[in-house]
Structure 1
Amino acid sequence: MSDKPPFRLADWAQNLVLRGLINGLLLLPYRMRVPLCGWVMSRVIAPVAGYRKRVRNNLAMIMPDLPKSEVERIAREVPDNVGRTLIEIYSGPEFVARAASLPLKGPGVAALDQAHHEGRPVLLITGHFGNYDASRAALIARGYRVGALYNPMKNGYFNDHYVRAISQIGTPLFQRGRRGMADMVRHLRSGGMLGLLIDQHMSHGAELTFFGHRALTALSAAELALKYNALVVPTYGIRQPDGLSFEVVVEAPIPHGPPEQMTQALNDSLEHLVRQNLGQWLWIHRRWK
């Protein structure tokens, strides 16, 4: 958990509004609060915050031939998924109980089980897609020792209770930085599994591609895998049409090789699923710079 942040009025006010919204929604039954939070994020917050405009701009660059009606659908669905994901994370035991019952599907399940029984480290790679914590909760429920690396929120007030919320889904958690990295390495070396998101712009990353466009991408997952002989397994929690349940997909491990080649394969894996579920990826990100 971060130290107490210096007082910033804008951050304090933003946290007050968001925390009030979350607390109010948590008073409602789960099946009501999840779609309602999605609606509020999509219809109220996103237009004011400029999220829809950012989605449209990214789609115009990456998929310029998309019909306008499809662009507008995605511009609504992306913040809706963000809102649903947010309140699911804050729903703690209710979300975990639902995710724990999800079966694992895909060609990588057997390899994951084998690594668990052998005590071999595993890097579980995903992106800001669907709800990545659904797959983490499902794997923990199977008895896997799954840790996760996270980036602290820029708003320190919000970050404190956000970290408490994601801790309810499972621990250990490792904050990006020197101390978190040391603890994370110990976890890996002991045969643990580690969840990583790789779909953010990294200014010092390698010049790879995502959706056919230059996208600076961190090579750290591949480098860790090579150093500690860890499996690299793309894993996703795909939101289903009911808006509440998920399919947890475990893809085949990425073969070890040059870090750039391994990481490009991870980008390609995520791109393939995003193309099938365009409204579930965080097109709000400034992924291409």
Structure 2
Amino acid sequence: MPILNLKKLSSYTHQFLQYNEYILAKGCLSLLRSLSPEKASDIGGAICRQIGTKLPVSKVADKNLQLVMPHLTPLERKRIISGVWENLGRTVAEFPHLANLKHNTPQGAGWEVVGGEYLTEQSKKIGPVLFVSGHIGNWEMLPLGVAKYGTPFSSFFRAASNPYVNELILNLRDEAMGQKIPMFAKGSKGARQALKHLLQGHRLGVLSDQKMNDGIEVQFFGRPAMTSSAVASLALKLQCPIIPGYVQRLGPARLRIVVEPPIDYSEFSENNLDNIHRLTQVINDKLEGWIKQNPEQWLWLHRRWPKELYK
């Protein structure tokens, strides 16, 4: 068979597999939507906890906890890791229900906001704004909740390798938001688009808790950690507010968005490398404080610290 035909056959096979993956994902989505938000959350949490705790990546989480929380016993670390997987499963299973969760319901599925006054105040202003958070609780709820206060923001996303599945996810986000908000793919092109977005006076949200090999070294849980300096660099360049916040899980499909006052960086507002470092450290300190409150609600599943510590 000619080489060209083999390439075509391989391409068709790849597309066929991708489409079948999309059909499976869509079927799972329909199944989750047929359940109540609480039931979907419970099932997602149970499945992910049972499977995830047995995967090799759980050893990475255990090592992370040994590195930065050495006071924990093996049993305590095991409990946290189990909680990490449960929270992740709940987050995924709740995703198709986010658009229908009720605001300020007294109990059951729904969400509430602490610090909403900072969002209300910001909604009355014009100009670029940066929101900073991490993969804590159900972080997918943060853009939706903030938007309800008149301050919708764009954000970065990691595109799924399957374009059909990627489109499905993006459509779900738009549905939850009730409007189409620009999203920027991670990478140099997305970074340029995000900068342009901010320069036009819009808002941008960034999850700053993941390792960034080409970032800067600051402390995180008392250890050096390569960290993205994007939020600090952009804020100092544009002299715009940074609003920190995170999502706390209270129960199955029950979430609390905690919004804190804008970060005061007036003492080091000059745009230079030293101040970028100082402001990035302030952000890391906030993330660390949030994570310590509920360590089982953060993603400990990646090698966040220098690779030599994992040998």
TM-score band by shorter chain is 0.7 to 0.9
Query: What is residue 267 of structure 1 aligned with on the other side?
Result: 284
Out of 49, 69, 72, the position equivalent to 1:66 is 72
Query: What is residue 222 of structure 1 aligned with on the other side?
Result: 232
Q: Distance in 1 between matches of 2:12 and 2:287?
A: 35
Task: Name whichever of 157-166 and 52-61 sits farther off.
Answer: 157-166
> Structure 1 residue 54: deviation in Å?
2.4
Query: What is residue 128 of structure 1 aligned with on the other side?
Result: 135
Query: What is residue 278 of structure 1 aligned with on the other side?
Result: 295
Q: Distance in 1 between matches of 2:15 and 2:55?
A: 19
Q: Distance in 1 between matches of 2:169 and 2:188?
A: 21
Which letter maps to 1:159? N
Task: Name whichever of 10-19 and 207-216 sits farther off.
Answer: 10-19
Task: Name whichever of 212-221 and 26-35 sits farther off.
Answer: 26-35
Q: Does residue 245 of the first structure (1) align with residue 254 of the second (2)?
A: yes
Q: How many residues align?
A: 281
Matches within 5 A, 1:199-210: 199-210=209-220
Q: Distance in 2 between matches of 1:138 and 1:40?
A: 27
Q: Match of 1:236, SS?
A: strand
Q: Match of 1:128, SS?
A: coil
Out of 187, 191, 197, the position equivalent to 1:177 is 187
Write the deviation string for residues 26-69 of structure 1: whole angstroms up to 9, x where unpaired.
3222221111101111112x145434322212112222220222
Q: Distance in 1 between matches of 2:25 and 2:280?
A: 35
Q: Structure 2 regions of 5+ residues with no counterpart?
A: 1-10, 269-274, 307-311
C-alpha change, 1:200 and 1:245, in structure 2 (3 Å) is: same
> Structure 1 residue 131: deviation in Å?
1.4
Task: Name whichever of 260-269 and 165-174 sits farther off.
Answer: 165-174
Q: Match of 1:248, SS?
A: strand
Which letter maps to 1:228? L
**Percent of aligned pairs with the same residue?**
29
Q: Distance in 2 between matches of 1:229 and 1:180?
A: 21
Query: What is residue 83 of structure 2 aligned with on the other side?
Result: 77
Q: Structure 1 regions of 5+ residues with no counterpart?
A: none
Q: Distance in 2 between matches of 1:285 and 1:98?
A: 33
**Max Rg structure:** 2
C-alpha change, 1:21 and 1:76, in structure 2 (3 Å) is: farther
Q: Distance in 2 between matches of 1:286 and 1:169?
A: 31
* Partners of 1:149 and 1:196 within 8 A in 2: yes
Q: Does residue 138 of the first structure (1) align with residue 145 of the second (2)?
A: yes
Q: Distance in 2 between matches of 1:146 and 1:99?
A: 21
Structure 1 vs Structure 2 CA RMSD: 2.9
